[in-house]
Amino acid sequence: MLSINTNYQQYNYSTSGIKQANSVNKPQTGSCASSLPVDKTYNVPFGSAMTSSQLRTTLSTKEEKEKYKFLTKTVDKTTRKELNKLLKSGILLKNDSNDHSSVLDNLHKIATTPRAEGLDNAVILKETIDTIANPYLITQQFGDIPEEFQDKALKLYAESHPDFNPDTTNLIEKGVAKADINLEHSGTCVAASIEFNMAQKHPAEFSRFVENLTSPKLAVEKTIKLKNLADNVLDTVWLLNAFEIPFTADNFNEVKLTFAPDKNAILRAQIQNSHRDPGERSVIDVLMQSTLMQTGSQQTYDTLTDTRGGKFNQNNKGLIEFEKTFTESVVEDKNKISMTYQTVDENGRITGYETDFNTMKRQIISALAAGENVIIGYTQTDETNKIINGHEITITGVQQDNKGKLMFICNDTDDDYYAPIAYSEDYLLPKIHHAALPQQVVGNDVNIVENWVEGLKSYKEIKRQAA
């Protein structure tokens, strides 16, 4: 992995993305971006190994028919239509999840087995179907905390802020605490982008995660190959220990990981279960994003305040590039390489690029052609070219405009727009700081530095500066 230098400035792709100056509720438009109809497919849906003959669109066993019949009787008319579309498209019967359960299997479990306290089966079932049918619904926008939940939220806040007394009569102190928990924008763009990628590209695994994370155990297990993190087993173990993710290993080839949201996530999930307003995160978004933030932040994330600690990051918001790549790698069980494209000086100014735009474009297109989405971190700069903000979005496909220019089809979980948008290559390529790409796409272009090497280097430098 070629990681961003975190020594002089933290580029935590965390808060809001680029917004049109005259419109905060629509994606950027004009020469650089255009909206696309949500029902038109611009992404590459499957890798070259996946063909239509491998997709099943017909219920073939008695068990499948019974499960499908039960679900159709459980959901409303609109959701029933979505369920039928999932069947006809081959998504419903996909079973390429970690335990080989299908989307249908997991939807049936969601509907028929207990959910975590305060979560409703019907709500989770509808949200899961809706999200798989249209992953562009995923958002990172926090929901408000209703008055009846404020006291409970403040008590949880006090557990991590010992100087705060939830029963205080000091209005200033209480006001500061309430400001910390009543959030609108979040730093979960990395997590939301990975969630989107799972829902769109790996719906069986996505539904398995949802089923487990919304169950009473509030956790999901996943077995991954050790070689997909590092070539050396001991290096992989170092990475897992460094990120403090619970794991067990019975052999030298695989490891079983346990993913779970932070302890405060369930309160926000319970609130969204019964008090979700338009534009806010779903219950699924809350628990998935918390889990992914926990994974990347070395188990230090707090959903209540959208802050994190951890050894690799000096900032308390978002995830840095190294953490993002680790999270993508373990969730997908793939060796992802983070390509850093921008050259940034010690003052945080972009001074050039590590590779030319044609190579950058070729690498991204190659990943798309292999059936992969590409999660990128892009930067915003001031008039001196100093980075002032960063954000993560997902490239899902490409097309050409009527002038032959390449347009990147993207999803942004922070644009209040629940459909794809298109950015021209002239606009987007210069802004891309890094992109997570499969190792086979970039292996011949660079001398690859493994995740653990770059992570250890960053950690040592942070410790040195703190001394």
How confident is the prediction for the chain on average, in pLDDT? 85
What confidence tier does 31 reach under pLDDT thresholds 50, 70, 90? Answer: very low
d(CA 108, CA 90) in angstroms, rounded, equals: 17
Tell me: the pLDDT tens digits for 418-455? 999 999 999 999 999 999 898 888 866 665 555 556 66
pLDDT of residue 8: 27
- Residue 376, beta-bridge partner list: 393, 435
More confident residue, 388 or 25: 388
Q: Where are the alpha helices (DSSP H) in 280-397?
A: 283-296, 321-332, 357-369
Q: Where are the alpha helices (DSSP H) in 75-143?
A: 77-88, 103-112, 121-133
Give yes or no for residue 164 having a pLDDT over 50: yes
Contact 265, 272 (CB under 8 A): no
More confident residue, 454 or 177: 177
d(CA 180, CA 190) in angstroms, rounded, equals: 21
Q: Give which of 62, 57, 42, 47 is closest to 92, Cα–Cα.
A: 57
Mean pLDDT of the 457-461 span: 63
Give yes or no for residue 465 having a pLDDT over 70: no
pLDDT of residue 399: 92
pLDDT of residue 236: 86
* 71-94 as b/e: b if 16+ CB within 10 A: beebbeeebeebbeebbeebbbbb
pLDDT of residue 37: 39
pLDDT of residue 25: 33
Map tokens 């790549």 to a residue.
325
d(CA 441, CA 362) in angstroms, rounded, equals: 9
Orientation of helix 103-112 relative to helix 121-133, angle to 10°: 160
Q: What percent of the chain has pLDDT over 90?
A: 70
What confidence tier does 460 reach under pLDDT thresholds 50, 70, 90? Answer: low
More confident residue, 448 or 177: 177
What confidence tier does 184 reach under pLDDT thresholds 50, 70, 90? Answer: confident
pLDDT of residue 453: 60
Give the Cα-Cα-Cα angle 350, 353, 358 (nearest 5 degrees): 140
Pick from 5-19, 120-134, 339-353 the range whose average pLDDT is largest.
120-134
pLDDT of residue 11: 37
d(CA 122, CA 159) in angstroms, rounded, equals: 32
Q: Give which of 210, 185, 225 is closest to 24, Cα–Cα.
A: 185
Give yes or no for residue 458 having a pLDDT over 50: yes
Helix (H, G, I), strand (E, B), or coil: what is residue 270?
Answer: helix
Give yes or no for residue 133 having a pLDDT over 90: yes
Q: Which phi and psi angles does 399 have, rounded to 5°? A: -155, 170
Give yes or no for residue 45 having a pLDDT over 60: no
Contact 368, 395 (CB under 8 A): yes
Q: Give which of 312, 423, 441 is closest to 370, Cα–Cα.
A: 441
Tell me: the pLDDT tens digits for 205-249? 999 999 999 999 999 999 999 988 887 888 888 889 999 999 999
Give yes or no for residue 36 having a pLDDT over 50: no
What confidence tier does 47 reach under pLDDT thresholds 50, 70, 90? Answer: very low
Q: What percent of the chain has pLDDT over 70?
A: 83
pLDDT of residue 98: 97
What confidence tier does 290 reach under pLDDT thresholds 50, 70, 90? Answer: very high
Give yes or no for residue 150 having a pLDDT over 50: yes
- Residue 432, beta-bridge partner list: 378
- Residue 375, beta-bridge partner list: 394
| CA distances from residue 365 to 71, 295, 433 in whole angstroms, order as listed | 39, 28, 17
Give the Cα-Cα-Cα angle 283, 45, 227 (nearest 5 degrees): 80
d(CA 100, CA 386) in angstroms, rounded, equals: 47
Give yes or no for residue 10 having a pLDDT over 60: no
Tell me: the pLDDT tens digits for 363-381? 999 999 999 999 999 999 9
| CA distances from residue 97 to 19, 195, 332 in whole angstroms, order as listed | 36, 15, 10
Least confident piece of the model among 187-196, 223-232, 291-300, 440-449: 440-449
Map tokens 């939301």 to a residue.
192
Give yes or no for residue 107 having a pLDDT over 60: yes
- Which residues touch 416 (CB under 8 Å, ≥6 apart)? 24, 25, 26, 139, 141, 279
Contact 346, 8 (CB under 8 A): yes
